[in-house]
A and B are shown apart, each in its own frame.
Chain A
């Protein structure tokens, strides 16, 4: 009985691991599924599958890698079911992208850490554009109208900001030895 009490609650264990790796899993799924709504659907299904099959997860091994495998098969099933829909990658491309993310997972985690620093270095104007574009409460078109600019101009600015963040993140990773 004491042993039972000392056993970690699987639910708590799962939530802890899932919360820790959620961003990495979401990024993995979104890489394989360019459509945001598809990615969200798959995240929900995959997280449920992970919970149901959590007993199969071997403690001591990488939860993230295990979750990637579950997510990959969920993506494959999703794509097969929606084969007729447009803008979905082929199985071959999904496999290549999954391999890439799995192989360079640590690097991608480093990118996410470095992003904090890089966002801080942005100017107020750029940070505001990022906040508006990524917070879904204000439509970009409306924000553009408030600024007296066209949505296209704002998209271009967003593209420039993302590109500068990519460069900043790369530089920071190189400084950390992720060349």
Chain B
């Protein structure tokens, strides 16, 4: 058998990658690392195939059997007991009767046929049942779906389908990434669940829907005064009188962000309301698991309107210093430039497309540099038909970064953090520094970010360590310990400010001069997907998994802008002194913003 000398089943790093992939928790870097190993190492393929094989067998053993039993029980209990009995009698007389000692194979076939019949009948019944339930007040129906969404009942789980009704005690769960579901009530109220969220329709009481984890966005129809819409989390009840808002829930607290209308927030202890607060439009309210009062704070006051949508997908976007055009990279379509503000395509480079870890436009606006996850730097001199591909590979690369001017690139691999200078004239990569990993092979950086001139490199590690290196000297010049794995990470152009997201601690901005830290976002109900500083270092821009883009003032941490993008922004950039914002994922969206200046000090940062 073709395998390496080490036993692949004892390779803990590989096992961890496979585990996270099987659990559906692998991030992009982990997934790419796994694929790289599978491509290059037969032993890794053996270990992976073994894990998946056992995973499937375990699924078969524990899950499928349970699901069929659950379906059969439900089927029998509710509707078709007579038909099922007839079916079984028929089966018994016609099929079993032909073989006095049916083989295991035959029994399996019969079980499969029974299961298939039950599933088909249940499907038909569901169709009818959905129509009946839709007419009933108080029950929500699935109106839209993206990605993996499941309905979890007391005795079985199924993939959600449009038209399904969320019945009392059932939960609706969206997958960790790239999933979304919209529920609609008979009165037109809609509840959108973002990725990694769970809601439950309570079995009794006046609460219509309970957010168990993650985040939802609610667009409530006007409610009758005597029978308002009531939502709940572990931390509070939300009495809604016709409004638009977002609700986030994690272990420690629930956060309400109110766009329009009014919500009465009630905190209960021992079934008694101990605190009741009217939350107004433009406010956020945080109810925590502690006994402290609900905190009220203003939402970002800035406004933005969608000026244009360009039908180009991408994972990185950058605006030329002149503000007259932009470059976008997409893993399938390659590099493209568009004129601003009308989005007219200028040039494209489709060769060597692939996921990007960095995109830059040189100061003279003549060259685009892309750091490709395929292990190379692509230098595209505008006007030339083909880009030059410069190999930049390492063993088990975990993270990569490109400086904003495209002159430096770095990656973190088994051997350390390698920094190279991109020689645009000779079209070559020159080694600049080899910085150490945190603690050997397992201490690779999970996130990297360059200052504007490429002289400062920030590295975030697995255990929450965050370091800033002087690239030329090869020294660590600043270090801070955060709560959890740092991802993603940004450093301001002048190298003074750091912004880092961790699952446990949220989004934090750090002043490396005063060492002060300011938590800008603490709920794990939504996570940061992309992060960058504005070109003048005055603002921090972040794209979130709840389809929002948020902007904060760097100096005082004040929220400046909150936009509902309509999709998860993969890339975000600002230009024209903060008056325009660009986001990209399925399409490029150009937002016209009010001047982003810090508002008056609020009640709480």
Contact = CB atoms under 8 A, between A and B. Distances in A.
A96 B159 contact: no
Contact of A137 (B48, B58, B156, B198): B156
Given A135-B63, A167-B9, 13 more contacts: A15-B113, A23-B60, A26-B56, A34-B22, A97-B38, A97-B48, A108-B53, A131-B62, A134-B62, A136-B156, A139-B152, A141-B198, A166-B47
A111 B59 CA distance: 14
Contacts of A96: 38-39, 45
A134 B61 contact: yes
A101 B45 CA distance: 9
B52 A31 contact: yes
Contacts of A89: 35, 38
B105 A20 contact: yes
Interface in A18-72: 19-20, 23, 26-27, 30-31, 34-37, 40
Contact of A135 (B25, B51, B66): B66
- 6 nearest A-B residue pairs (beta carbon): A134-B62, A136-B157, A27-B56, A37-B148, A135-B66, A112-B57
B91 interface: no
Contacts of A10: none
A23 B56 contact: yes
Contacts of B57: 23, 27, 111-112, 115
Nearest to A134: B62
Interface of B: 1, 9, 15-16, 19, 21-26, 28, 31, 35, 38-39, 42, 45-63, 66-67, 70, 105-106, 108-109, 112-113, 147-148, 150, 152-157, 159, 171, 173, 175, 177-178, 198, 213, 313, 330-332
Interface in A85-123: 85-87, 89-90, 92-93, 96-97, 100-101, 104, 108, 111-112, 115, 119
A84 B313 contact: yes
Interface string A133-171: 111110101000000000000010011001101110110
Residue among B15, B38, B63, B198 with most chain A CB within 10 A = B38
B173 A139 contact: yes
Contacts of B48: 31, 97
Nearest to B32: A87
Contacts of A86: 28, 31, 177-178
Given A136-B150, A141-B213, A167-B9, A162 B54 contact: yes
B49 A101 contact: yes
Contacts of B331: 84
Given A90-B35, A93-B39, A137-B156, A84 B56 contact: no
A52 to B, nearest CB: 17
A30 B56 contact: yes
Contacts of B62: 130-131, 133-135
Q: How large is the interface on A (under 10, 10 to 19, 20 to 34, 35 or more residues)?
A: 35 or more
Given A36-B148, A97-B45, A101-B49, A115 B54 contact: yes
A131 B61 CA distance: 9
Q: Provide the main secondary structure of the chain A interface.
A: helix
Nearest to A131: B62
B31 A16 contact: no
- Among B9, B42, B57, the one with the most A-chain Cβ atoms within 10 Å of its Cβ is B57
A5 B53 CA distance: 40
Contact of A139 (B19, B178, B198, B330): B198
Contacts of B105: 16, 19-20
Interface of A: 12, 15-16, 19-20, 23, 26-27, 30-31, 34-37, 40, 83-87, 89-90, 92-93, 96-97, 100-101, 104, 108, 111-112, 115, 119, 130-131, 133-137, 139, 141, 155, 158-159, 162-163, 165-167, 169-170
Contact of A31 (B53, B63, B112): B53
A41 to B, nearest CB: 10
B154 A137 contact: yes
A9 to B, nearest CB: 11
Contacts of A83: 332
A34 B24 CA distance: 8
Given A27-B53, A137-B154, A93 B35 contact: yes
Contacts of B198: 139, 141
Contacts of A159: 15-16, 19
Contacts of B330: 84
A31 B148 CA distance: 18
A87 B58 CA distance: 23
Nearest to B30: A87
Nearest to B103: A16
A162 B21 CA distance: 13
Contacts of A30: 52, 55-56
A119 B61 contact: yes
B206 to A, nearest CB: 23
A133 B60 CA distance: 12
Nearest to A27: B56
A139 B171 CA distance: 10
B60 A166 contact: no
Nearest to B21: A34
Contacts of B159: 37, 40
B63 A134 contact: yes
A119 B54 CA distance: 11
Contacts of A20: 105, 108
Nearest to B171: A139
A37 B53 contact: no
A131 to B, nearest CB: 5
A36 B24 contact: yes
Given A36-B24, A104-B49, A112-B53, A26 B112 contact: no
B487 to A, nearest CB: 15
Contact of B51 (A36, A92, A162): A162
Contacts of B26: 34, 87
Given A36-B148, A162-B51, A167-B9, A134 B59 contact: yes
A127 B318 CA distance: 51
Contact of B46 (A27, A92, A100, A158): A100
B153 A111 contact: no
Nearest to A161: B58
A25 to B, nearest CB: 10
Given A159-B19, A163-B15, A111 B46 contact: no
B42 A19 contact: no
A130 B62 CA distance: 8
21 contacts: A16-B106, A19-B109, A26-B56, A26-B60, A35-B148, A37-B175, A84-B332, A93-B39, A97-B38, A108-B49, A108-B50, A111-B53, A111-B54, A119-B58, A134-B62, A136-B150, A137-B66, A137-B155, A139-B198, A166-B54, A169-B54
